Amino acid sequence: IAAHRVVSKRYRCHLPAPVFSRSDLNLWSILKHCIGKDLSKVAMPVVFNEPLSFLQRITEYMEYSFLLHRADECDDPVDKTNLLHFFIPVFSSLKYVAAFAVSALASNWERLGKPFNPLLGETYELVREDIGFRIICEQVSHHPPASAFHADSPHFIFHGFIHPKLRFLGKTVEIKPEGTLTVKLLRHKEIYTWTNVSCRVHNIIAGKLWFEQYGVLELVGHDTGLDAVLHFKPAGRLSKDAHRIEGFVCNKQKAKLRFLYGKWSEFLKSADVEAYEEYVRTFPNKLRLPDQAEPASAQNTSFFSTSPTGSPGHTPKRMVDKFNSFTRSFTSSGGGVSSDSLDLQPMPTEDDTLDTVPKNDSPWSVDIPNSVTLWQANPRPEYSAEYYHFTLFAIALNELNNDMKKLLPPTDSRLRPDIQKLELGDIDGAAYEKSRLEEKQREARKQRKKHKIMWEPRWFKLEHNSYTKADDWIYTGGYWEREFSRCPDIF
Ligand code: CLR
């Protein structure tokens, strides 16, 4: 690690202007006509944005990438007490890769602004010598939106793409960040892959917005046969399980080797399976074995799950009709929404109207003796709420100095005028620039169609991921040679 510790450069700790208050704006009045729609096709006022492009949001995965460095260097003595000596090196690295996969999601906590949709051909690069990585991202497709990225360091390669699907369901916005993520540890020569869990924004109609991630993250070790299956629990009644994660590291024979638990917003710890079992016997209410888990109601009613009434990605019409008739009764009688499934219910009481916003200090906290902390989130600055709830890492993403201006390609997100204007607090200017850029993009698309030119991403190619056999966007190389004369003019 020491070899990499470079004299730390200082990054900015503030944005140029604070967030514009959204409290007198009614999200519901804007979205009520869009139930069941794909949100990437809905024009949202720029006040609901945060001054970052989705490519920069992807870059936030890298804040704790030292965990991959640690995974690659692993000979963790903590595991020496375990009987599975044979597995030690691999086994240790897997749990740090798991910690990385979880840590990559931490910056989403309380972040309820909408990042800007990247323009086709937009890129974003970040070099953080202090953390020890560099990354290049490109918007490789516009309809459907897809963002590819490739990060590297002397210890790892991390690459993948995200194709986020957003659906507005009335009470909630459902998000499915499709795409495969792959980590290669260079010293261990190990490959890990996983896909992201789903997310949901609650209380669109009324109340305070809040965000949760739920579902199963299955981290597969391709050379070792080891895997980690992490359950991201829906908050549930009383928010008992807010942000909670639980799961096991298992070997090829599905024997449990280690218990991992934590909160995606805060930490991940690792415990002996024996200590875990002892803990479950002592506090039977605190932890539930995954096979006894409550059915994730969220998942069952999820828009994306296949149901007899609808295929994935398609709103059952019945549901929309029901909801429409319900909203009518809602507006005329002043009632509220009481059930997640949008079913009509008898007049709900005030308490049932809103989903409770989870607090981060739950009395249900779990702490198994002799656990090892694999990862702990950096505290946010105390003024974070004024700056869109950004972390310090996020605050620095748009920093732009004169040296950098000379190095960057003309497609870099830092140079996007609408994001720059929003960052300065100029909402009208941002709105004007945003529609200008979108118009320019439409016009370019028309021209390509007219001249029968196919769009080709500059730095990535659609290929197969040799481990998952699924489609994947693979970096074609050359970005860091900084030959940018062939870059398109998109701003
Ligand atoms: C979550 C982590 C995933 C990648 C990913 C994809 C889409 C992102 C989502 C993350 C976080 C929440 C997000 C979403 C796009 C829009 C949504 C930023 C980063 C915001 C909160 C929607 C705001 C909508 C308003 C109507 C409030 O790996």
Confidence of residue 338 (pLDDT cuts 50, 70, 90): very low
Instruction: Write the residue with the smallest CA distance to atom 20 of ligand 1.
Output: 114
* Index of the ligand 1 atom closest to the CA of residue 196: 28
Nearest CA to ligand 1 atom 15: 114
**pLDDT confidence tier of residue 309, bands split at 50, 70 and 90:** very low
Lowest mean pLDDT among 333-337, 396-400, 474-478: 333-337
**Res 297: pLDDT:** 41
Burial of 24 (0-12, 13-18, 19+ CB in 10 A): exposed
Are 102 and 123 in contact, with CB atoms under 8 Å apart?
A: no
C-alpha of residue 281 to centroid of ligand 1, in Å: 38
Closest ligand 1 atom to Cα of 27? 26
Of the candidates 356, 353, 307, 316, which has an alpha carbon nearest to the alpha carbon of residue 333? 353
Tell me the average pLDDT of the chain.
83
**Mutational test site, ligand 1, from 26, 27, 57, max ligand atoms within 8 Å of CB:** 57
Q: Residue 161, class by beta-carbon neighbours within 10 Å (0-12 exposed, 13-18 middle, 19+ buried)?
A: buried
- Per-position b or e across 429-466, b if 16+ CB within 10 A of its CB: bbbebbeebeeebeebeeeeeeeeeeeebbbbeeeebe
pLDDT band per the 50, 70, 90 thresholds, residue 197: very high
Q: 281 near 119, Cβ under 8 Å?
A: no
What's the confidence (pLDDT) of residue 31?
Answer: 83
Q: Write down the pTM of the prediction.
A: 0.84
Q: How many CA atoms lie within 13 A of 465 on its CB side?
A: 23
Q: Is the pLDDT of residue 446 over 60?
A: yes
Q: How far apart, in whole angstroms, are the C-alpha atoms of residue 231 and residue 214?
A: 8
- Report the distance separating Cα 170 and Cα 32, nearest Å: 7
Query: What does the pLDDT average to over 153-163?
Result: 97
C-alpha 91 – ligand 1 centre gap (Å): 32
Residue 38: its pLDDT value, please? 82
- How many Cα atoms sit within 13 Å of 407 on the Cβ side? 13
Within 6 A (CB) of ligand 1 lie 27, 48, 57, 105, 108, 112, 114-115, 162, 164, 166, 173, 175, 177, 196, 199, 201, 209, 211
The pLDDT assigned to 128 comes to: 96
Measured in angstroms, how far is the CA atom of residue 440 from the centroid of ligand 1? 25
CA of 161 to the centre of ligand 1 (A): 15
Residue found under tokens 């840590």: 103
Residue having the nearest C-alpha atom to atom 3 of ligand 1: 177
Helix (H, G, I), strand (E, B) or coil at 235: coil
**Residue 333's pLDDT is what?**
33
Q: 258 pairs with which residues across the strands?
A: 249
* CB-CB neighbours of 229 under 10 Å: 18
pLDDT the model gives residue 91: 61
Instruction: Quote the tokens at residue 304.
Output: 């994306």
Residue 136 Cα to ligand 1 midpoint, Å, equals 20
**Pairwise pLDDT comparison (303 vs 235), residue with the higher score:** 235
* pLDDT exceeds cutoff 70 at 124: yes
Average pLDDT on 58-68 reads 98
Ligand 1 atom 7: residue of nearest CA: 164
Give me ligand 1 centre to Cα 179, in Å: 14
Residues 56-65 have a mean pLDDT of 98
Hey, whose CA ends up nearest to atom 24 of ligand 1?
A: 114
Interval 130-145: pLDDT, tens: 999 999 999 999 989 9
d(CA 9, CA 333): 59
Between the CA of 58 and the centroid of ligand 1 the distance, in Å, is 10
pLDDT value of residue 188: 80
Measured distance CA(317)–CA(369) in Å, rounded: 51
Q: Say if residue 319's pLDDT is above 60.
A: no
pLDDT level of residue 34 (50, 70, 90 thresholds): confident
Q: Percent of the chain having pLDDT more than 70?
A: 79
Cα distance between residue 223 and residue 203, in whole Å: 43
Q: If you take atom 28 of ligand 1, which residue's CA is the nearest one?
A: 196
- Distance, in Å, from the CA atom of 231 to the CA atom of 244, rounded to the nearest integer, reads 8
pLDDT of residue 8: 64
* Cα–Cα distance for residue pair 283/343, rounded to 1 Å: 36
Answer yes or no: is pLDDT of 53 > 60: yes
CA of residue 173 to ligand 1 center, whole Å:
9
Ligand 1 atom 25, closest CA: 114
Instruction: Select from 105, 114, 265 the residue to mutate for testing ligand 1; criterion: most ligand atoms less than 8 Å from CB.
Output: 114
Neighbours of 322 (CB within 10 A): 15
Determine which of 28-32, 109-113, 448-452 has the lowest per-residue pLDDT on average: 28-32
The predicted structure's pLDDT at residue 189: 86
Tell me how far the alpha carbon of residue 391 lies from the centroid of ligand 1, in angstroms.
Answer: 16
Of 234-248, 249-263, 351-365, 445-459, minimum mean pLDDT range:
351-365
At 435, the pLDDT band (50, 70, 90 cuts) reads very high
Do you know the residue count of the chain? 491
* Helix H or strand E encompassing 130: none
pLDDT tens, position by position, 344-380: 233 333 344 466 776 655 556 788 998 999 999 999 9
Which pLDDT score, from 0 to 100, does residue 84 have? 53
pLDDT for residue 75: 67
CA of 175 to the centre of ligand 1 (A): 7
pLDDT tens column, 477-486: 999 999 999 9
Mean pLDDT for the stretch of residues 233-254? 88
**Mean pLDDT to the nearest integer, 172-194:** 94
pLDDT the model gives residue 44? 85
Average pLDDT over residues 433-446: 96
Q: Which has more pLDDT, 330 or 31?
A: 31
